[in-house]
């Protein structure tokens, strides 16, 4: 695991290093970030959490409120995530000190009132919305919470009118920025996803000449970059939102899919993606086909690792329900967990990626000069 904690000249303008104290890490911590799907944290449970190479404790009180807290107890520093939830508080498993959702010690068996009133652990602002738990892990006051509804009404389709609304998450074992850039890399779609878009291609072979590569247009706003297919016939629209967000609209078989996604670093060599997925289906949800049980298959990241190592091929997973994810995973992790981008050969089709890197650099410079972050939504 690579964790960079001290600045060097190279890292000053590089988004890929987000450990504590790094320039990109400070910028990323200045925005709300999703940290877990709501359904993955039951009331009365606690778990450890790693975001941007830092440890935290995440628990949900019996009152249903999610709390992001320091990783270690204020007393003798054991991990709080193995403690027990009591009411809205968390009791350490070592000597039983109990901390409330504001981080204050509320009980320390055998200790004085004075000690109890003084002991505390750090807690972080936490919000829950659209099936995701978000935390603000930076210093000072958090910025306004992302207004996804308004953004969707202006640039998308209106989340409030979606036929289905769900969340999705996965871990990908490469730097988060590789996936952020992929959001504006429209040229990869007909190639990387040729199998998932038409499984018959396994039999007929594949000719690059047969692929219709749509020309794209790139539109740049103050804090966003939008990529569309030129000509405006396709509903396809990918909008990068500083610093690690993507708003995506794609045509699907029965209608339109709109997605808000965040690629959140676990550390510098792996990240977790969180997405809010809205589907607009004019004829309503299709009756469920024979259920494809995801549990019957290995997780997408494991399949991708087998393919990268040459032990399996993509066609071996043609029926995998997460084939699209496996395809992206292979392409992105195939670049290396922390890709050496100094050896790339960028081309015309990379103009979205180039704009994205420029925007990040500009924002890093402005942030280093003390400018406040600009909320995109």
Closer of 185 and 268 to Fe ion (Cβ) = 185
Does the footprint of Fe ion cover residue 363 (CB under 5 A)? no
Instruction: CB nearer to Fe ion: give 13 or 188.
Output: 188
Q: Which does 69 bind (CB under 5 to 8 A by kind): Fe ion, ligand FES, none?
A: none
Q: Using CB distances below 5 to 8 A depending on partner kind, what does residue 328 bind out of ligand FES, Fe ion, none?
A: Fe ion
Binding at 94: pick from ligand FES, Fe ion, none (beta carbon under 5-8 Å per type): ligand FES
Task: Output the smallest distance, CB 289 to ligand FES, in A.
Answer: 51
State the helix-helix crossing angle for 300-308 and 323-333, rounded to 10 degrees: 50
Q: Which is nearer to ligand FES, 116 or 368 (CB)?
A: 116
Smallest CA-to-CA distance from 362 within 221, 232, 201, 229 is with 221
Burial category of 111 from C-beta neighbours within 10 Å (exposed 0-12, middle 13-18, buried 19 and up): middle
Q: Which is nearer to ligand FES, 95 or 201 (CB)?
A: 95
Query: Of the ranges 68-76, 129-137, 161-169, 322-330, which one interacts with Fe ion (CB under 5 A)?
Result: 322-330
Among positions 343-362, residues that touch Fe ion (CB under 5 A) are none
Binding partner selected for residue 202 from ligand FES, Fe ion, none, CB under the kind-specific 5 to 8 Å limit: none
Residue 146 host element (H or E): none
Q: Is 181 in the site for Fe ion (CB under 5 A)?
A: no
* DSSP annotation of 131: T
- Picked from Fe ion, ligand FES, none, the partner binding residue 97 (CB below 5 to 8 A depending on kind) is ligand FES
How far is 27 from 20, CA to CA, in rounded Å?
Answer: 11
**Residue 328 near Fe ion by CB under 5 A:** yes
In the bound state with ligand FES, the residue whose beta carbon lies nearer, of 82 and 210, is: 82
- Helices within 136-280 (DSSP H only): 148-155, 176-182, 189-192, 194-197, 201-204
Written as six digits, the tokens of 144 are 């306004």
Report the distance separating Cα 179 and Cα 56, nearest Å: 24
Q: Which residues bind ligand FES (CB under 6 A)?
A: 73, 75-76, 78, 92, 94-97
What is the smallest separation between the CB atom of 332 and Fe ion, expressed in angstroms?
A: 8
181 touches, from Fe ion, ligand FES, none (C-beta below 5 to 8 Å by class): none
User: Which residues does residue 170 pair with via DSSP β-bridges, in sequence order?
Assistant: 273
**Number of residues located near Fe ion, criterion CB under 5 A:** 1
Q: What DSSP state is assigned to residue 313? A: -
By beta-carbon proximity to ligand FES, the closer residue of 92 and 261 is 92
Number of Cβ within a 10 Å radius of residue 121:
22
Query: Environment class of residue 276 by beta-carbon count within 10 Å: exposed (0-12), middle (13-18) or buried (19+)?
Result: buried
Chosen from ligand FES, Fe ion, none, partner binding at 73 (C-beta under 5 to 8 Å by type): ligand FES
Picking from 146, 177, 140, 144, the residue whose alpha carbon sits closest to that of residue 52 is 177
Q: Smallest distance, Å, CB 91 to Fe ion?
A: 44
- For the bound state, the minimum distance from the C-beta of residue 116 to ligand FES, rounded and expressed in Å, comes to 12
Tokens of 87: 């009411």
β-pairing, 270-280 with 164-172?
antiparallel
What are the residues binding Fe ion (CB under 5 A)?
A: 328
């Amino acid at each position: 695991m690579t964790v960079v904690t001290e600045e060097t000249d190279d890292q000053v303008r590089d988004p890929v290093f987000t450990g504590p104290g790094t320039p990109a890490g400070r910028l990323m911590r200045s925005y709300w970030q999703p940290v877990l799907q709501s359904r993955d944290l039951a009331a009365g449970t606690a778990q450890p959490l790693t975001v941007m190479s830092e440890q935290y404790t995440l628990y949900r009180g019996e009152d249903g409120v999610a709390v992001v807290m320091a990783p270690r107890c204020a007393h003798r520093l054991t991990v709080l995530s193995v403690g027990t939830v009591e009411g809205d508080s968390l009791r350490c498993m070592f000597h039983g000190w109990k901390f409330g959702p504001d981080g204050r010690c509320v009980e320390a068996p055998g200790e004085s009132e004075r000690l109890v009133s003084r002991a505390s652990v750090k807690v972080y602002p936490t919000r829950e919305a659209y099936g995701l738990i978000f935390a603000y892990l930076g210093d000072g006051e958090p910025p306004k919470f992302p207004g996804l509804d308004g953004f969707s009404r202006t640039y998308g389709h209106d989340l409030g009118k979606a036929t289905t609304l769900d969340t999705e998450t996965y871990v990908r074992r490469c730097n988060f920025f590789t996936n952020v850039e992929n959001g504006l890399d429209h040229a990869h779609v007909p190639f990387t996803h040729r199998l998932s878009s038409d499984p018959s291609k396994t039999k007929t072979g594949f000719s690059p000449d047969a692929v219709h590569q749509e020309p794209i247009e790139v539109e740049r706003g103050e804090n966003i970059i939008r990529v569309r297919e030129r000509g405006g016939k396709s509903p396809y629209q990918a909008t990068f939102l500083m610093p690690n967000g993507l708003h995506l609209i794609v045509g699907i078989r029965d209608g339109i899919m709109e997605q808000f996604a965040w690629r959140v670093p676990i550390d510098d060599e792996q990240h977790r993606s969180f997405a809010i997925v809205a589907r607009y289906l004019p004829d309503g949800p299709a009756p469920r086909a024979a259920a494809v049980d995801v549990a019957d298959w290995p997780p997408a990241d494991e399949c991708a690792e087998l393919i990268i190592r040459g032990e399996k091929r993509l066609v071996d997973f043609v029926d995998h329900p997460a084939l699209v994810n496996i395809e992206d995973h292979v392409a992105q992790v195939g670049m290396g967990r922390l890709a050496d981008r100094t050896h790339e050969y960028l081309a015309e089709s990379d103009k979205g990626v180039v704009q994205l890197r420029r925007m990040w650099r500009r924002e890093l410079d402005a942030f280093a000069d003390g400018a406040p972050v600009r909320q995109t939504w």
